[in-house]
């Protein structure tokens, strides 16, 4: 089944600065099971809290399980259902173990939220550049391993948290690890975020017919620990200080789009879309209308090639 990239724009008309809690108001998620990566802090923590408050059973995937347990305890104290499972997206063994534990029951919502941004050069446990390996390959491997559980939970949705930062860098499948290019943390971040969009688009194309729909989203500028490498000197070096002070959203506001992508009725029957501020949006480099073919980050041929490259890199075949 083709993606809905060519569908009319989704314009739900939410007010500016709407919160995730406001988006979820009126929804009953009883009987739904959600997995949220990076749920120990920031947008993941708020997303998990809101979904649990509406009745979903939430699995908090966290590298820092101690912090995750504190989040889960607060959710349970408020009457919700939540448990923590350890997950390091930069370690294929950790991803496999997580999927073995969590994928035994149907999953209705998978929120691929965790990520790293503009970090110093490094490698994952499996030898991939840290940002690409964590932000894209880790979530690719996790999703592929959880496909049977998602199919059991169909209709299911996968929400991949990208960023407007995808405009900072394209994907070089011949040098994703910056072995020939000089490492640039923002180019690497942009590469990983472009991959997030392409991944969601191709995931939807391949599995929509089985009841699994996928979206990529841009949460906007949010005050979380993700930007911990963004010192004033780094901001000035990039030339972003010329735009003046940027209003940072709260996590409650920043999580709105991913919660809407996960449960919004306006998105029923749709998929493969790039969303921001709770509506369909243009990807970087696009000068075409939303009902046209999007270049680069939504190009179907590039999405297919990235998927096939990711299968080879992870040794996983999605079927």
Catalytically annotated residues: 189
Is 43 within 8 Å of 258 (Cβ atoms)?
Answer: yes
Q: Residue 221 and residue 237: Cα distance in Å, rounded?
A: 18
Cα four-point dihedral sign 277, 155, 271, 12: negative
- Give the residue from 17, 71, 64 showing the smallest Cα distance to 48: 71
3-state SS of 271-288?
CCEEEECCEECCCCCCCC
Give exposure, 285-317, as e/b (b: 16+ Cβ within 10 Å). bbeeebeeebebbbbbebbeebbebbeebbebe
- Give the residue from 13, 211, 4, 39 showing the smallest Cα distance to 111: 39
- Rounded to whole angstroms, what are the CA distances from 289 to 2, 273, 277, 281, 286? 18, 14, 18, 10, 8
Q: Residue 291 and residue 204: Cα distance in Å, rounded?
A: 17
What is the separation of C-alpha 2 from the centre of its chain, rounded to a whole number of angstroms? 21
3-state secondary structure of 91: coil
- Rounded to whole angstroms, what are the CA distances from 155 to 55, 166, 203, 213, 265? 17, 29, 14, 8, 12
Is 226 within 8 Å of 42 (Cβ atoms)?
Answer: yes
What is the separation of C-alpha 94 from the centre of its chain, rounded to a whole number of angstroms? 18
């Amino acid at each position: 089944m083709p993606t809905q990239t060519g569908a009319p724009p989704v314009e739900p008309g939410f007010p500016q600065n709407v919160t995730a809690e406001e988006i979820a108001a009126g929804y009953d998620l009883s009987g739904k099971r959600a997995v949220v990566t990076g749920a120990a802090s920031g947008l993941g923590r708020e997303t998990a809290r809101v979904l649990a408050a509406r009745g979903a059973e939430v699995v908090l995937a966290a590298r820092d399980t101690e912090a995750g347990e504190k989040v889960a305890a607060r959710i349970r104290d408020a009457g919700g259902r939540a448990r923590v499972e350890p997950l390091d997206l930069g370690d294929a063994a950790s991803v496999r173990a997580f999927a073995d534990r969590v994928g035994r029951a149907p999953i209705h919502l998978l929120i691929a939220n965790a990520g790293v941004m503009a970090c110093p050069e490094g490698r994952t446990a499996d030898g991939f550049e840290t940002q690409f390996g964590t932000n894209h390959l880790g979530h690719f491997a996790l999703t592929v391993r959880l496909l049977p559980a998602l199919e059991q939970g169909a209709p299911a949705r996968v929400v991949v948290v990208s960023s407007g930062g995808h405009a900072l860098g394209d994907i070089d499948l011949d040098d994703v690890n910056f072995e020939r290019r000089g490492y640039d943390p923002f180019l690497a971040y942009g590469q990983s975020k472009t991959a997030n969009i392409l991944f969601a688009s191709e995931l939807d194309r391949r599995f929509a017919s089985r009841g699994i729909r996928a979206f990529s989203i841009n949460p906007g500028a949010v005050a979380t620990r993700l930007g911990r490498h963004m010192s004033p000197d780094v901001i000035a070096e990039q030339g972003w200080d010329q735009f003046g002070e940027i209003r940072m959203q709260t996590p409650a506001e920043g999580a709105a789009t991913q919660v809407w992508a996960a449960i919004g009725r306006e998105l029923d029957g749709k998929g493969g879309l790039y969303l921001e501020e709770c509506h369909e949006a243009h990807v970087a480099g696009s000068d075409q209308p939303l009902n046209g073919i999007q270049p680069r980050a939504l190009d179907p041929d590039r999405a297919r090639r990235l998927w096939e490259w990711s299968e080879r890199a992870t040794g996983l075949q999605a079927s």
